Amino acid sequence: MKKVFFLALAVWMTSLSFAQNKQVKFQIETSFGVMKGVLYNDTPFHRDNFVKLVNEGWYTDSPFHRIMNNFMIQGGGNKDGRPDPGYTLPAEFLPHKYIHKKGALAAARQSDQVNPTKASSGSQFYIVQGKSVSDDMLFSMEKRINQDKQNALVREYITRPENMDLYKKIDSLQRARNGTAVNAMVQEILVQMKNEGEEIKYFHYSDKQKAVYRTLGGTPHLDGGYTVFGEITEGFDVIDKIAQVPTAAANKPVNAVSMKITILKE
């Protein structure tokens, strides 16, 4: 089983060289043109790992192996066929700051069923293309994100040793498929958590984020579930060109689309 990858002290020391007010800049060269972008400083695990892989040449001649028009372009495997370097990264979700707007650079990962902590792949990433999003859709996304957050916090609360009686009651009701009673009990637990000072801070898109989704577009259904750790700042037309290439089974391009990534020096 893959182990979650925690950056070693040496890597952390390297990260200190990045000035806090500066962002690491990168370039992705393809046969369709060049994309340039930045990495976020407040997703340091993903930033430092991406820089490490680029400097090691992992992404040289790496393929975009999954392309879905109006959604995203995904790559990250090594040219020798290895899909990833054999480790994962801890999630760094910051949906209040970074959303899946067009051009967002985010980490791919395995599904929740086999990856309950939502850990990121060690190298797989995708770049969002997406499409225009309505405010009604964003409202629905807020509800989903907040429901997921609520479920996770309640689950953590009832599995504490001192709250195992609550867990047993919930488990019994779920086994009996008594959804109404489960929901009522969850509401009681939320009140109890609030009385104990553990009120949930619910997520809402800012007016600026809503405007970005309406105009630039994106894929908001991924917010809060995948780590966004950078963004494309130049070459949006290249995203569109790659997204429109013919694909076959598993959304794999009929004709290979490869890349070369480099870190840009100031």
pLDDT tens for 18-33 read 445 699 999 999 999 9
- 205 occurs within a structural domain: no
- 207 occurs within a structural domain: no
Query: What does the pLDDT look like over 159-185, one tens digit per residue?
Result: 999 999 999 999 999 999 999 999 999
Asked if residue 175 and residue 105 are part of one domain, the reply reads: no
pLDDT over 80 at 142, yes or no: yes
HSE (side-chain half, CA atoms, 13 Å) at 49: 29
Mean pLDDT of 245-256: 97
Mean of all residue pLDDT scores within the chain: 92
- 200 occurs within a structural domain: no
How much is the pLDDT for 5? 44
How much is the pLDDT for 38? 98
Which three-class secondary structure state does DSSP give residue 230? strand
> What CATH number should be reported for the domain holding residue 26?
2.40.100.10
Asked if residue 157 and residue 233 are part of one domain, the reply reads: no
pLDDT over 90 at 15, yes or no: no
The structure tokens listed for 15 are 């990260």
d(CA 3, CA 1): 6
The structure tokens listed for 153 are 């916090």
Count of domains for the chain: 2
Asked if residue 142 and residue 82 are part of one domain, the reply reads: no
pLDDT over 70 at 8, yes or no: no
pLDDT over 90 at 17, yes or no: no
Mean pLDDT of 228-245: 98
H helices of the chain, in order, are: 9-15, 44-56, 135-158, 164-175, 179-195, 207-215, 236-243
Phi and psi based region of residue 192 (left: phi greater than 0; alpha: psi -120 to 50; beta: remaining): alpha
Asked if residue 97 and residue 13 are part of one domain, the reply reads: yes
CA nearest 243: which of 131, 165, 84? Answer: 131
How much is the pLDDT for 266? 73
How much is the pLDDT for 9? 32
Asked if residue 223 and residue 113 are part of one domain, the reply reads: yes
- 48 occurs within a structural domain: yes
Asked if residue 118 and residue 36 are part of one domain, the reply reads: yes
- 249 occurs within a structural domain: yes
Query: What does the pLDDT look like over 199-225, one tens digit per residue?
Result: 888 999 999 999 999 999 999 999 999
- 114 occurs within a structural domain: yes
The residue range of the domain holding 145 is: 136-195
Cβ 47 vs Cβ 15: under 8 Å:
yes
pLDDT over 80 at 14, yes or no: no
Query: What does the pLDDT look like over 218-229, one tens digit per residue?
Result: 999 999 999 999
Asked if residue 166 and residue 248 are part of one domain, the reply reads: no
- 100 occurs within a structural domain: yes
d(CA 23, CA 173): 50
In which band, very low, low, confident or very high, does the pLDDT at 190 lie, cut at 50, 70 and 90?
Answer: very high
Buried b (16+ CB within 10 A) or exposed e, 191-204: eebeeeeeeeeebe
Asked if residue 168 and residue 74 are part of one domain, the reply reads: no
Asked if residue 148 and residue 40 are part of one domain, the reply reads: no
Asked if residue 157 and residue 93 are part of one domain, the reply reads: no
Query: What does the pLDDT look like over 86-135, one tens digit per residue?
Result: 999 999 999 999 999 999 999 999 999 999 999 999 999 999 999 999 99
Buried b (16+ CB within 10 A) or exposed e, 146-173: beebbeebbeebbeeeeeeebeeebeeb
Asked if residue 150 and residue 121 are part of one domain, the reply reads: no
Asked if residue 23 and residue 99 are part of one domain, the reply reads: yes
